[in-house]
Structure 1
Amino acid sequence: MTAAAVWAALEPGDRDWLRALAAHTGPGARVALVGGAVRDALLGGARPDRQTPGVDLDVVLDGADVEAVARATGLPFTFHPAFHNATVTLPDGRGVDLVRARRESYPVPGRNPVPEPGTLEDDLRRRDFTLNALALTVTPDGPGALLDVSGGRTDLEARVLRPLHGRSLFEDASRLIRAARLAARLTLSASPELLAQVPDALGMAGATPRLWAELKLLLQEPRPGRAAGVLEAWGAGGLLPGRALLAALDARQDAGADLPWTAYAAAALSAGPDPAALAERLGLGDRPGALLNRALSDSFHPPDSPEVLLRALLRPDAYPPLTGRDVVARGVPPGPQVGEVLAHLAALRRGGGLRSREDERAALERYLQER
Structure 2
Amino acid sequence: MALVGGAVRDALLGHTPLDLDVVVPGGQVEALARASGRPFVFHPAFGNATLTLPDGRTADLVQARREHYPVPGGNPVPAPGTLDDDLRRRDFSVNALALQVSPSGEVTLRDTTGGLNDLEARVLRPLHGRSFEDDPSRLVRAARVGARLELRAHPELLAQVPAALALAPQTPRLWAELKLLLQEPRPGQAAAQLADWGAGGLLPDPALLLALDRLRDEGQIIPDTAYAAALLHAAPDPAALARLLTLGERPGALLARALSDTFFPPGTPERTLRALLRPDAYAGLTGKDVLALGVPPGRAVGAALAHLAALRRAGHLRSPDEERAALKAFVATEGRQD
Q: Determine which of 223, 231, 239 is the counterpart of 1:276.
A: 239
Deviations 1:263-307 (A, max 9, x none): 111110100122222112112222211211111111111212221
State the 1:140 CA deviation. 6.1
2:20 aligned with 1:57, yes or no?
yes
> 2:34 is matched by which residue type in structure 1?
R
Any unmatched runs of 5+ in structure 2?
A: none
Secondary structure of 2:329's counterpart equals: helix
In the alignment, which residue of structure 2 is the partner of 1:245? 208
Which residue identity lines up with residue 168 of structure 2 in the other structure? A
Residue of structure 2 equivalent to 1:172: 135
1:304 lines up with 2:274 in the alignment: no
What's the secondary structure of 2:119's corresponding residue?
helix
Counterparts of 1:341 and 1:258 in 2: how far apart (Å)? 34
- Identity among equivalent positions (%) equals 70
CA contact (8 A) 1:321 1:357 kept: yes
Give the Cα–Cα distance (whole angstroms) in 1 for the partners of residues 203 and 35 of structure 2. 43
1:337 and 1:174 map into 2 onto residues whose CA distance is 57
The answer on 1:326 being equivalent to 2:289 is yes
Q: Secondary structure at the match of 1:258?
A: coil
Render the CA deviation track for 1:118-154: whole Å, top value 9, x for unaligned.
1111111000000100111124654422111111011
Q: TM-score, normalised by structure 2?
A: 0.96
Q: Quick check: 1:62–1:120 contact (8 Å CA) kept in 2?
A: yes
- SS at 1:107's partner residue? coil
1:109 matches 2:58: no
Match among 39, 42, 49 for residue 12 of structure 2: 42
Higher RCO, 1 vs 2 (CA within 8 Å, ≥6 residues apart): 1
For 1:110, what is the secondary structure of its paired residue? coil
Letter in 2 for 1:346: A
Aligned counterparts of 1:270 and 1:222: Cα–Cα separation in 2:
20
- Matches for 1:117-266 after TM superposition, within 5 Å: 117-139=80-102, 142-266=105-229
Moved over 6 A (4+): none
Would you say the 8 A contact 1:218–1:227 is kept in 2? yes
Match of 2:160, SS? helix
Q: For this pair of structures, how many residues does the alignment match?
A: 334
Asked if the contact 1:242/1:270 (under 8 Å) is kept, the reply is: no
Tell me the alpha carbon deviations over residues 307-330 of structure 1, each in whole angstroms, 9 at most, x when there is no partner.
111111110110001111111112
| 2:27/2:47 contact within 8 Å kept | no
Q: Distance in 1 between matches of 2:297 and 2:70?
A: 69
Q: CA deviation at 1:157?
A: 0.8
Kept in 2: contact 1:137–1:146 (CA 8 A): yes
Q: CA deviation at 1:45?
A: 2.4
Alpha-carbon distance between aligned partners in 1 of 2:282 and 2:157, rounded to the nearest angstrom: 46
Q: CA deviation at 1:160?
A: 0.6
Q: Cα gap change, 1:350/1:154 in structure 2, threshold over 3 Å: closer, same or farther?
A: same
Q: TM-score normalised to the size of structure 1? A: 0.87
In 2, Cα distance between equivalents of 1:78 and 1:333: 63
Q: Where does the alignment leave 5 or more consecutive residues of structure 1 unmatched?
A: 1-30, 47-53
Contact 1:134 1:147 in 2 (8 A): yes
- SS of the aligned residue for 1:147 comes to strand
TM-aligned CA distance change 1:108 to 1:359, over 3 Å: same
Residue type of the alignment partner of 1:95 = T
CA deviations 1:146-186 (Å, max 9, x no partner) are 11111101111111110001010111111001101111111
- C-alpha deviations, 1:237-274, integer Å up to 9, x for none? 11111300011111112222121111111110100122
